[in-house]
Amino acid sequence: MKKAILVMLICLLVCTGCSLGKETSERESASRELFAMDTIMTLTVYGEHAQEVLDLAEAEIERLDQMLSTGNPEGEIGTLNRTGKVNLSDDAAYLFEESLKLNDMSENAFNPMIYPVMEAWGFTTDEYRVPSKEEIGQILPLVDLSLAEYQEETGVLQFRKEGVKIDFGGIAKGYTSGRLMELFQENGIEDAVVSLGGNVQVIGKNPKQELWKVAIRDPQDPSGFLGIVRVTDQAVITSGGYERYFEEDGKRYHHIIDPNDGFPADQGLISVTVISRDGTLADGLSTALYVMGLNRAEELWKQHPDLFDAVFVTDSNELYITEGLKECFTSDTYTVKIIPE
């Protein structure tokens, strides 16, 4: 009888000991969800003072949102679009210079001056309409980065033409997630994952001390994933026409507009995911590569294989990955074709 009690107690002790050990071995962590930049963001960090670091992160997001939102007339970009002139902060100056690089790299597949065209399509107000070719033809000359004059010495950005508007929305979330990673590391956080409306960036390892596993949404199946990529210290950013679109007269119009002709990009891709250490680049390139189509995207990657990797899904349901992802990408739903360097 007594033996039985002792055995039972030892079992209990061992069992609870295990669970206790598990609890104490887990590091401090905190998660937060917030609404900013017209989307839902989730931030999770592991390390000391996790809550305080998230407070800093939230303040930083708020600051950048106020600064970069086209909808905030008193913000930096709001002021610029309203008056045609503004003193750029360091953040906005960086975004402008990155935009020039991305625009050049992608042969105008990325252009932050596309805003007046987005307005014509109603994508800025959700009052969708299909503008005529003539109307687009009149607006398209405004989509030209040489109409924005930036003086590095004074920090002043000025438009050279009436009606010109700029929007860093195509890289703002990627820039923000990159800033958050810097902020986390400056404050002693080694492991973190953020999703800014589905734009993912990570540092360190997941709670199991493995690479972070990022599932990528399948453009053909809103419940499923096209595959999983295992990464550390990377941004994983997906663009697809399936994210936002409207239909008129049975035709579907999505929100990724080709700056070269002012109409929804139609180059045979339905989803592009860019994986890069640089969140700003990943964000800008995911739309640019979508606009460029597979062949030109492939060429661009071959010029810069160290800058980024990518996953493409074509409208004929083929999935391609760049060679750099060979070891870290898996898919249950597609046959994976590798683009060699």
Partner 1 sequence: MKKRKEADPFRINRYDIILTAALAAAAVICVILFAGFHDTSEGAFVRITVDAEEYGIYELSQPVQIRIETDRGNNLIQIRDHQVTMLEADCPDGYCIRKGPISRIGDTIVCLPHRVVAEILSADGHADEFDVIAQ
Residue of 127, 208, 209, 249 interacting with partner 1 (CB under 8 A): 208
Task: Identify the bridge partners of residue 85 per DSSP, sorted by sequence position.
Answer: 158
Strands (E), 219-296: 221-231, 234-239, 245-248, 251-254, 269-276
Structure tokens at 165: 């508007």
70 part of the interface to partner 1, by CB under 8 A: no
Site for partner 1, residues 215 to 234, rule: CB under 8 A: 215-217, 222-225, 228
Report, in Å, the least distance between residue 246 CB and partner 1. 18
Query: Which phi and psi angles does 178 have, rounded to 5°?
Result: -65, -45
CA distance to 31, 130, 163, 226, 309, per residue, from 273 (Å): 25, 28, 33, 11, 8
Shortest approach of partner 1 to residue 42 CB, angstroms?
5
User: Nearer to partner 1 by C-beta: 9 or 59?
Assistant: 9
Distances (CA, A) of 103 to 64, 83, 109, 110, 165: 22, 24, 7, 5, 16
Question: Look-up: residue for tokens 């979330």?
Answer: 173
Secondary structure (3-state) at 243: coil
Residue 87 within binding range of partner 1, rule CB under 8 A: no
Residues 37-56 that bind partner 1 (CB under 8 A): 40, 42, 44
Q: Which residue among 118, 214, 281, 292 contacts partner 1 (CB under 8 A)?
A: 214
Site string for partner 1, 266-305 (x = CB under 8 A): -------x--------------------------------
Measured CA distances, 268 to 29, 227, 241, 293, 318 (Å): 42, 20, 11, 6, 10
* β-pair partners for 76: none
Q: Return the number of the residue (81 or 195) whose C-beta is nearest partner 1.
A: 195
Inter-CA distances, 109 with 119, 159, 241, 277, 311, Å: 18, 21, 15, 21, 18
Q: Are 289 and 247 in contact (CB under 8 A)?
A: no
Q: Binding partner 1 by CB under 8 A: which of 102, 193, 300, 319? A: 193
Residue 4 in contact with partner 1, rule: CB under 8 A:
no
- Which secondary structure element, helix H or strand E, spans residue 280, and what is its range? helix 279-292
Number of residues that bind partner 1 (CB under 8 A): 42
Can residue 238 be called a binding residue for partner 1 (CB under 8 A)? yes
- Contact window for partner 1 (CB under 8 A) among 4-12, 80-88, 259-267, 300-308: 4-12
Determine the interface stretch with partner 1 among 141-149, 197-205, 254-262, 296-304 (rule: CB under 8 A). 197-205
- Out of 69, 81, 106, 195, which residue is the one contacting partner 1 (CB under 8 A)? 195
The verdict on 7 binding partner 1 (CB under 8 A) reads no
Q: Which stretch binds partner 1 (CB under 8 A): 51-59, 64-72, 74-82, 202-210?
A: 202-210
Sign of CA dihedral 162, 107, 293, 38: negative
Give the one residue of 63, 213, 277, 296 binding partner 1; rule: CB under 8 A: 213
In the complex, least distance from residue 167 CB atom to partner 1, rounded to whole angstroms: 21
The span from the CA of 320 to the CA of 317, in Å, is 10
The footprint of partner 1 (CB under 8 A) covers: 1-3, 5, 9, 12-13, 16-17, 19-20, 23, 31, 33, 40, 42, 44, 193, 195, 198-200, 202, 206-208, 212-217, 222-225, 228, 236-238, 243, 273
